[in-house]
Chains A and B, each alone.
Chain A
Amino acid sequence: MNKLFSKNPLTPHLQIYKWQISSLLSITNRIVGVINFIIIILICFWLISLRFEENNYFLIFNLMNSVVGKFLIIFLCWAFSFQILNEIRHLAWDLGYGYDTKIAKITGILVFAGSFILAILIYLVGNNLVN
Chain B
Amino acid sequence: MNLSTKKWLFTKISSAILIPFMIWFLLKFVSLFDSDYQTLIDLVTVKSFKLVFTGFILTAFLFYTLTISEIFEDYINDQKIKNVANKVVFTFAIIILIFTLIILHTL
Chain A: residues with CB nearer than 8 A to chain B?
2, 5-6, 8, 10-11, 30, 33-34, 36-37, 40-41, 43-44, 47-48, 50-51, 54, 57-58, 61, 64-65, 69, 73, 76-77, 80-81, 83-84, 87-88, 90-91, 94, 122-123, 125-127, 129-130
Q: How many interface residues does chain B have, given as a range?
A: 35 or more
B79 within 8 A of A: yes
Tell me whether A80 and B26 are in contact (CB under 8 A): yes
* CB within 8 Å for A11 and B75 given contacts A88-B19, A129-B27: yes
Residue of B nearest to A7 (CB): B77
User: Which residues on the B side are within 8 Å of A123 (C-beta)?
Assistant: 30
Main secondary structure of the interface of B (DSSP, over half): helix
Which residue in B29, B57, B76 is a CB contact (below 8 Å) of A73? B29
**B74 contacts A125, C-beta separation under 8 Å:** no
Q: Is the interface of A mostly helix, strand, loop or mixed?
A: helix
Known interface pairs A44-B57, A88-B19; 20 further A-B residue pairs with C-beta atoms within 8 A, sorted by A's residue number = A6-B79, A11-B75, A36-B64, A37-B64, A37-B65, A40-B64, A44-B96, A47-B44, A47-B104, A50-B107, A51-B103, A73-B30, A76-B29, A77-B26, A84-B19, A94-B12, A122-B30, A125-B27, A126-B27, A126-B30
Q: How far is the CB of A120 from chain B (nearest CB, A)?
A: 11
The answer to whether B100 and A44 touch across the interface, beta carbons within 8 angstroms, is yes
Given A11-B75, A122-B27: A84 touches B22 (CB 8 Å cut-off)? yes
Bound-complex Cα distance A123 to B37 (A): 21
